[in-house]
Amino acid sequence: MTDFKDRERGEETKYAFDQETQFKITARRNRLLGQWAADQMGLTEEETDAYAKAVVQADFEEVGDEDVIRKVLGDLTSAECDIDEATVRAKLDECEAEARRQFIEST
């Protein structure tokens, strides 16, 4: 019985670790996307930092990536940047890979 409880605790610990890791990677991905979008909009360094944080915050509005895509695409459109949704989605995937690489290198 003790082996089962130990195994159960181990699985719960691994699940919590995996969830925390994914959260960190997603936040880093969103920050990278925000920095890219800020560059497209020609924001200053301070504005870029604030905007990247706002993109990270936007991800807490709903489950999934749609809230982040909607924010970035809306902001790029408002800034009259000629970037479509497919480009934002492709950049999001690119940022995901980069965020994962950065996270692995930092551990």
Supply the pTM of this predicted model: 0.89
CATH classification (class only), 2-106:
mainly alpha
Q: Is the pLDDT of residue 17 over 70?
A: yes
d(CA 35, CA 53) in angstroms, rounded, equals: 9
Average pLDDT taken over every residue of the chain: 94
CB atoms within 10 A of CB 90: 11
Q: Is the pLDDT of residue 1 over 70?
A: no
CA distances from 39 to 14, 43, 48 (A): 38, 6, 7
Arithmetic mean of pLDDT, 61-89: 96
Q: What pLDDT was estimated at residue 61?
A: 87
Q: Are 34 and 54 in contact (CB under 8 A)?
A: yes
Mean pLDDT of 28-45: 98
